[in-house]
């Protein structure tokens, strides 16, 4: 029975050494959470005001899209 000798490797095939920049995910801090909470609250108040007028007058409709609201709600749920 014979054996096959593999050559020694000095480094991994994709060893970039110290030239690699480590990028971390953005931090979802309390200030960002508060901004998302306020966005969701403004959206909800605007939605309620258009669906259910208070004192016979309609509330101002917030300039927040459904996509913005859903993204903020998703971040709040994850964080």
What pLDDT score does 65 carry? 82
- Residues 33, 74 contacting (CB under 8 angstroms): no
What pLDDT score does 21 carry? 62
Instruction: Mark out the alpha helices in 10-56 (DSSP H runs).
Output: 30-51
Overall pTM > 0.85:
no
CA distance 46 to 62: 5
Which residues does the chain have with pLDDT short of 50?
none
């Amino acid at each position: 029975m014979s054996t096959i000798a593999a050559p020694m490797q000095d480094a991994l095939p994709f060893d970039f050494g110290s030239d690699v920049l480590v990028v971390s995910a953005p931090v979802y801090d309390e200030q960002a959470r508060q901004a998302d909470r306020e966005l969701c609250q403004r959206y909800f108040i605007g939605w309620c005001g258009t669906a259910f007028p208070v004192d016979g007058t309609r509330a101002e409709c917030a300039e927040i899209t459904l996509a913005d609201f859903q993204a903020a709600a998703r971040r709040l749920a994850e964080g």
